[in-house]
């Protein structure tokens, strides 16, 4: 069994920053507790609020010497009903209501036949997208309707359960293909702001097809005049995205299993299997996957999670998540730091059990035939296991090699050494990868020596340890790794590596 440092945690933690966690002292405590990625939720807060939080995360991360990535999460096309009386409008099973594009305050009616109430819509094209038989869910699915008729301006619906319409509650239509773009005018304005900030990842909400991801990639490419440094995470929260998952994974740099809206759009009993399938497919593709929403929801008000929540976190880790995420727990909850500490503690405990078994690659992760980097990545895991190496060192310009190694889930820590700061931050999201910033070294021998020194300096290796080192000798082509060596740490490796 591979010897590993007891304090290492392979599964990463994404924490949403909000009013409860924006104070610099709280941000510092979150990083120390185990936050690897700070999520800025653009559904809430001003640009000024996010800019200050981003700057604070960068400053505190640098002071602590702990790399932290920053993820900007776009709001996406959130459908809502309009304004209603403060007390709302109560309806009962079997009632008929009309959803309308008219600019009115919702109210009861008595002169429109069987229609009991008029409910205004903020999204004016919804009647064109919805037809008879479509399910319409209001307020996180607490009120369910069935469309019986529609025209260009109205949708007549039958109420399927008792409930209350309240102002600005969200609308989900899982059975309809909506024409609203995945990237709204607000999102484009937010992207313009994001490009002025030090951001590593953009999360694209309510993705339904790969073309929506490529559109954002094209925009970033045009902005940067070529390749773009910011990477894109697609949030899977629509049934259409589940159906087109393979093409969306291929188009994206990472995936978020956004169980909040997904659990509204598809039956709740389907969510666990859909989650497992998404995670497996991301693992096989070597792309990071975040499991999000309601993992420790009760910790918004309580200092301890429920047993079911602890088990939910554990299952997300056992399923193969690269990262697990807090939302309201850290954004607006009463115990933001405790929530991250709890998540980190559960992860360490579950991983302890995972590491006690003999290493073998996950059954659903297959070697990519003809891919040299993938072959070397697999070989590095097998070699590290058989030689009881203390660390796998992966010098990388693009991050691809480290991610390729990580998909095989080695018990041996992966030390990614990169000269690129944004690649360092992006690799923070990948399972079992610990990225270090290095000086750019062109010669393979110098790079190997420098990398081993960094492993010793950072506590991943000590004298007489065996370490596995990957490298590329194809004229420094990014993403091309074709060399694997085994080094034994000697006294010379205790010298300081070259400075950045």
pLDDT band at 235 (very low <50, low <70, confident <90, very high): very high
pLDDT band at 5 (very low <50, low <70, confident <90, very high): very low
Q: Greater confidence, 415 or 357?
A: 415
Distance set, CA 7 to CA 63, 143, 159 (Å): 21, 46, 54
The residue-averaged pLDDT of 147-160 equals: 97
Give all domains of the chain, ordered by start, each with its CATH number: 12-77+182-355 (3.20.20.60), 79-172 (2.40.33.10), 372-494 (3.40.1380.20)
Write the CB contacts of 40 (distance below 8 Å, at least 6 apart in sequence). Answer: 17, 50, 53, 54, 70, 71, 72, 73
The residue-averaged pLDDT of 77-83 equals: 93
pLDDT band at 184 (very low <50, low <70, confident <90, very high): very high
Kind of pairing between the strands at 323-326 and 107-108: unpaired
Separation of alpha carbons 307 and 296, rounded Å = 10
* Tens digits of residue pLDDT in 388-432: 999 999 999 899 999 999 999 999 999 999 999 999 999 999 999
Q: Which helix or strand (DSSP H or E) is residue 278 part of?
A: helix 271-285
Return the SS3 of 291.
strand
Separation of alpha carbons 410 and 360, rounded Å = 8
Place of tokens 């024409």: 179
**How many residues are given for the chain?**
500
Cβ atoms of residues 400 and 419 within 8 Å: no
Q: How far apart are the first and last CA of the chain?
A: 35
Write the CB contacts of 115 (distance below 8 Å, at least 6 apart in sequence). Answer: 96, 97, 98, 109, 156
**Residue 76 — left, alpha, or beta (φ > 0 → left; ψ -120 to 50 → alpha)?**
left
Composition of the chain by helix, strand, coil, percent to 5: 35, 20, 40
pLDDT of residue 106: 96
DSSP secondary-structure letter at 205?
T
- The answer to whether residue 80 is catalytic is yes
| Ordered DSSP codes for 418-452 | ES-HHHHHHHTTSTTEEEEE-----SHHHHHHHHH
pLDDT band at 480 (very low <50, low <70, confident <90, very high): confident
Cβ atoms of residues 350 and 318 within 8 Å: yes
- The answer to whether residue 39 is catalytic is yes
The residue-averaged pLDDT of 36-59 equals: 98
Q: Is the pLDDT of residue 262 over 90?
A: yes
Q: Torsions phi, psi of 386, nearest 5?
A: -70, -30
Active-site position among 16, 293, 300, 418: 293
Kind of pairing between the strands at 289-292 and 414-418: unpaired
pLDDT band at 493 (very low <50, low <70, confident <90, very high): low
Write the CB contacts of 195 (distance below 8 Å, at least 6 apart in sequence). Answer: 223, 230
Q: Is the pLDDT of residue 119 over 70?
A: yes
Separation of alpha carbons 165 and 390, rounded Å = 59
Active-site position among 39, 403, 409, 448: 39
Separation of alpha carbons 416 and 394, rounded Å = 5
The residue-averaged pLDDT of 331-350 equals: 97
Residue 62's closest CA among 421, 397, 458, 395?
A: 421
Q: Is the pLDDT of residue 186 over 80?
A: yes
DSSP secondary-structure letter at 268?
G
The two most distant CA atoms of the chain are separated, in Å, by 90
pTM, 2 dp: 0.92
Q: Look at the alpha carbons of 91, 97, 101, 104 in this order and tell me if their dihedral is positive or negative.
A: negative
Q: Which helix or strand (DSSP H or E) is residue 318 part of?
A: helix 307-319
Q: Work out the percent of the chain whose per-residue pLDDT is above 90.
A: 83
- Tell me the two tokens of residue 286: 């070597």
Cβ atoms of residues 99 and 155 within 8 Å: yes
pLDDT of residue 447: 79
The residue-averaged pLDDT of 131-153 equals: 95
What is the residue-averaged pLDDT of the chain? 93
The residue-averaged pLDDT of 215-223 equals: 95
- The answer to whether residue 9 is catalytic is no
- Cβ count within 10 A of residue 209: 17
pLDDT band at 6 (very low <50, low <70, confident <90, very high): very low
Q: Greater confidence, 458 or 447?
A: 458
* Tens digits of residue pLDDT in 440-454: 756 667 778 888 999
Q: Is the pLDDT of residue 479 over 90?
A: no
Separation of alpha carbons 337 and 253, rounded Å = 29
pLDDT band at 266 (very low <50, low <70, confident <90, very high): very high
pLDDT band at 160 (very low <50, low <70, confident <90, very high): very high
pLDDT of residue 32: 97
Kind of pairing between the strands at 135-138 and 483-488: unpaired
Q: Is the pLDDT of residue 499 over 80?
A: no
SS (H, E, C) 363-419: CCCCCCCCCHHHHHHHHHHHHHHHHCCCEEEEECCCCHHHHHHHCCCCCCCEEEEEC
- Tell me the two tokens of residue 237: 């929260």
Q: Is the pLDDT of residue 288 over 80?
A: yes
Q: Is the pLDDT of residue 1 over 50?
A: no
Distance set, CA 183 to CA 168, 188, 206, 253 (Å): 20, 7, 9, 17
Write the CB contacts of 335 (distance below 8 Å, at least 6 apart in sequence). Answer: 299, 300, 302, 303, 329
The residue-averaged pLDDT of 54-74 equals: 97
Separation of alpha carbons 359 and 120, rounded Å = 57
The residue-averaged pLDDT of 216-223 equals: 95
Active-site position among 80, 209, 276, 280: 80
Looking at the DSSP bridge assignments, the partners of residue 434 are 415
Active-site position among 78, 208, 231, 235: 235
pLDDT of residue 2: 35
Q: Work out the percent of the chain whose per-residue pLDDT is above 70.
A: 95
pLDDT of residue 472: 78
- The answer to whether residue 235 is catalytic is yes
């Amino acid at each position: 069994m591979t010897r590993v440092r007891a304090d290492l945690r392979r599964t990463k933690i994404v924490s949403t920053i909000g009013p409860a966690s924006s104070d610099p002292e709280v941000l510092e405590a979150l990083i120390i507790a185990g936050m690897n990625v700070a999520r800025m939720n653009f559904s809430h807060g001003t640009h000024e609020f996010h800019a200050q939080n981003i700057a604070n995360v960068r400053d505190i991360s640098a002071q602590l010497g702990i790399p932290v990535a920053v993820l900007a999460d776009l709001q996406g096309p959130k459908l809502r009903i309009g304004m209603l009386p403060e007390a709302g409008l109560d309806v009962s099973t079997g009632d008929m209501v009309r959803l309308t594009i008219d600019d009115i305050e919702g109210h009861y009616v008595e002169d429109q036949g069987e229609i009991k109430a008029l409910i205004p819509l903020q999204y004016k094209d919804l009647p064109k997208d919805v037809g008879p038989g479509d399910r319409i869910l209001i307020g996180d699915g607490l009120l369910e309707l069935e469309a019986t008729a529609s025209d260009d301006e109205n949708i007549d619906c039958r109420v399927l359960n008792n409930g209350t319409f309240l102002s600005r509650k969200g609308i989900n239509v899982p059975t309809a293909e909506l024409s609203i773009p995945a990237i709204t005018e607000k999102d484009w304005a937010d992207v313009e702001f994001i490009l002025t900030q030090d951001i590593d990842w953009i999360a694209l909400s309510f993705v339904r097809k790969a073309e929506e991801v490529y559109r954002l990639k094209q925009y970033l490419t045009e902005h940067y005049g070529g390749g773009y440094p910011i990477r894109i995470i697609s949030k899977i929260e629509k049934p259409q995205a589940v159906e087109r998952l393979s093409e969306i994974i291929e188009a994206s740099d990472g995936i978020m299993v956004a169980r909040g809206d997904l659990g509204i759009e598809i039956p709740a009993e389907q969510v666990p299997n859909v989650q497992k399938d998404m995670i497996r497919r991301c693992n096989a593709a070597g792309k990071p996957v975040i499991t999000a929403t309601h993992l420790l929801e009760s910790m918004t008000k309580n200092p301890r999670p429920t047993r079911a929540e602890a088990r939910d976190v554990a299952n997300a880790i056992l399923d193969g998540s690269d990262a697990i995420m807090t939302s309201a727990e850290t954004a607006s909850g009463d115990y933001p730091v405790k929530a991250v500490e709890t998540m980190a503690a559960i992860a360490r405990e579950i991983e302890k059990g995972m590491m006690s078994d003999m290493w073998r690659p996950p059954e659903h992760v297959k070697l990519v035939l003809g891919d040299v980097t993938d072959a070397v990545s697999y070989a590095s895991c097998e070699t590290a296991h058989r030689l009881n190496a203390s660390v796998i060192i992966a010098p990388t310009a693009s991050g691809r090699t480290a991610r390729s190694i990580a998909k095989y889930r080695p018990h041996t820590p992966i030390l990614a050494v990169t000269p690129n700061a944004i690649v360092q931050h992006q690799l923070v999201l990948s399972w079992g990868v610990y990225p270090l910033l290095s000086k750019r070294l062109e010669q393979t021998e110098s790079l190997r020596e420098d990398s081993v020194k960094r492993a010793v300096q950072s506590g991943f290796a000590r004298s007489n340890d065996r370490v596995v080192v990957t490298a590329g000798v194809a004229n420094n082509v990014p993403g091309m790794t074709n060399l694997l060596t085994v080094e034994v740490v000697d006294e010379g490796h205790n010298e300081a590596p070259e400075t950045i």
